[in-house]
Structure 1
Amino acid sequence: MTELNEQGGFRVSMLASGSSGNCTYIETPKKKILVDCGLSGKKIQSLMHEIDRDLSEVDAILVTHEHRDHIHGLGVLARRYGVDLYANEATWKALPTTVGQIKNEQKHIFEMGEVLTLGDMDIQSFGVSHDAVAPQFYSFHYHNKQFVMLTDTGYVSDRLRGLLKNADAYLIESNHDLELLRMGRYPWNLKQRILGDQGHLSNDDGALAVSEMVGDKTKRIYLGHLSQDNNIKSLAHETMETILSEKGLGVNHTFKVLDTDPYVATELFKV
C-alpha cells in the first residue's frame, strides 16, 4: 500500500452514493475513516477491495443521520471490527433497533457545529435541512486541504454556503431532475417530501449551491445521492456543467465535474 506524503493532502473515495446506499472512505497518513454505512457489510468490504483497502484498517465511522441508506451496515461493522463510531446524541437515540447492539465504549458523541480531531485530521460538523432527527454532514481538513460532503438536504442556507466556500473538493447532492420527479411513478406525498425544504436537492439546486461555493482552490466536484428513479447520471452531469458554465466558472479548466455510482467505487483520489 502506498504511503501518503505528510504534506501531500489526503485521499477520498465515494464507495457508494445514491438512494440505495451511501458510504465514503477517507484516509490521511494517520487515520482511515468511513462516513456512513448504508450497504451490507459484505458489499462495503467488496467496494473497499476495489480501491485496494480493507475494512480491518478503518479507525472510525462517522454517521450523518439515521435513514437506512446511511446506516444499514453500521451494526454489523461495529460488532465485527470494534471500530469507534461518531454521531450526535439525537441520532444515536434515533437509530432503529435493526442496527442491533453496539458496545457503549464504541459510541462517541460528535455534536452538530463542533470540530473533532482524529489523528492528523480536523472534521467540522454542520447541520442540514432533512427529515431526520438531527442530520449533519462534514467538512474534512488536513493541512491546507479541504473536502466537503453535502447531501440529504432540501436547501443550502447562505450561512452554509459561506462556511463551506472554496474547498478543494466537494461531494454535492444532485438527487433528482424536477421534470422526471414530477412525471414519475412516486405518489404525490413522496414527491412533496423530496421537493420540500427537508427533502433533497435537485440537479439545478445542487448546481446553484455549489456555484456559490467553488473558489480558486476547487479542483473536483462530485455529484452524489442520485435517485435511481428520478434522475439520469448524464442529465445530472450536464445540468451541473451548464449552470456552472453560465455562471462564468472554469468547468473543465480550473475544476472537473465528476460522477459517483451506487454500485462502483470512485477512484481513490488525492484531495
Structure 2
Amino acid sequence: MTVKVCSLSSGSSGNCQYIETENTRIIIDAGFSGKRIEQLLGEIQVDPRSLDAILVTHEHIDHSKGVGVLSRRYDIPVYANENTWKGMESTIKNVKTHNTKVFTTNRNIELKDVLIHPFNVSHDASEPVGYIIFNNKTKLSFVTDTGYINEGIKKRISNSHFYFMESNHDVKMLMEGSYPMMLKKRIMSLKGHLSNDDAADVLSEVLRGENEIVLLAHLSQDNNEPEIAYSTVRNGLLSQGFDVDNDLRLNMTNRDGISGIYSL
C-alpha cells in the first residue's frame, strides 16, 4: 500500500493537508469551516468519518478554524501540544475528553501504522510545530509557518521522500507592497514566514535528488505568485546543481482547492 498525500488547500486564508496509509487517515490542520473541509475531502472521495486524527501545527485561525466542529461532528481525536490547546481554546470550543490528545513536542506519537514526530518551529504562536510522518520506509516532512529553519530541523527532515515546504512570500513584492512596515518586519522576522529564497536555500541542503516530491506551500495572497515562487525555487535548485526536471518533482499547492493526490 502506498502512502497518499493531498494538499486540500494551503495559504494565508486556510490550510488543511490529507495523508493516507493502509490503515490510517489523518489531516494536518483544519483552517477552514467544517463545511468547506467536508467539501474538499469529498473531492478526493474521503468520508470525514473515516479520519483517525487531526494534527494541529498551531492555534492561528487559518490552521484551527474547523478543528472543533470536525472533531465534534465526526468524533475525531485532535492532537496538539498543551500550549497550542490553550491558544486555540476560544476558537475551537469544547472537544470531548476522549478526543483531546495532548502531546509533548519532539516526542514521537504512535498511531496505527504511522509514527508522528512533532518538532519545534519558529513562529509567533504559543508553541508551533512541524510534523514528520513515518510509514514503513516512507518519510514525509511538513514545514510551514516558521521564520527560519535551523540546522537541527534540516537534520530532522533530511532524507524525506516528500517535502511540504513553506514558500510564503517574494521579498521584493513584500517590501514594495502596501503592508505597514511593522507587518512587513513581522513576516520577515525569525518568527514570521519563509520567503521563496529561504525555501530554495533549505531545499538545496536537504534534497538528495532521488525523485523526492516537493510541494511549495502557504503562499501569501498579496506578496507572492505561484509562478514567482516556482521559478525562484527552481532557479535556486538549478544553481546548486539539481536537475529539477529529472532529479525531483517540484509542484505547487493551491490556496483555494486541492493540489492533486501524490502517491509514494
Identical pairs, percent: 41
Q: Match for 2:193 among 185, 200, 205? A: 200
Contact 1:169 1:218 in 2 (8 A): no
More displaced 10-residue stretch of structure 1: 98-107 or 193-202: 98-107
Instruction: Specify the alignment match of 2:63 in structure 1.
Output: 70
- 1:149 maps to a residue whose letter is F
Aligned counterparts of 2:120 and 2:203: Cα–Cα separation in 1: 17
**For the Cα contact (< 8 Å) 1:167–1:217, is it kept in 2?**
no
* Amino acid across the alignment from 1:111: T
Matches of 1:31 and 1:169, distance apart in 2: 18
Shift of 1:98: 2.9
Within 2, Cα distance between the matches of 1:88 and 1:96? Answer: 12
Alignment of 1:217-228 (within 5 A): 217-228=210-221
Is the 2:124–2:192 Cα contact (8 Å) retained in structure 1? yes
Root-mean-square deviation (CA, aligned residues, Å) is 1.0
Provide Cα deviations, 1:9-32, integer angstroms capped at 9, x if missing partner: 311101010000000000111110
Match of 1:22 in 2: 15
Q: Which residue of 2 aligns with 1:118?
A: 111
Gaps (5+ residues) in structure 2? Answer: none
Structure 1 outlier segments of 4+, above 3 Å: none
Unaligned runs of 5+ in 1: none
Residues 166 and 218, structure 1, Cα contact 8 Å, conserved in 2? no
Counterpart amino acid of residue 90 in structure 1: N
TM-score scaled by length of structure 1: 0.95
Indicate the residue corresponding to 1:128 in structure 2.
121
**Match for residue 135 of structure 2?**
142
Distance (whole Å) between structure 2 residues aligned to residue 49 and residue 211 of structure 1: 35
Structure 2 counterpart SS, 1:79? helix
Q: 2:40 aligns with which of 47, 53, 56?
A: 47
Q: How many residues align?
A: 264
The residue type equivalent to 2:178 in the other structure is: R
User: How far apart, CA to CA, are the structure 2 residues paired with 1:241 and 1:21?
Assistant: 25
Write the letter of the residue equivalent to 1:66. E
Question: Which structure dedicates a bigger proportion of its chain to helix?
Answer: 2
Amino acid at match of 1:206: A
Task: Tell me what 2:255 maps to.
Answer: 262
1:129·1:155 contact (CA, 8 Å) conserved in 2?
A: yes
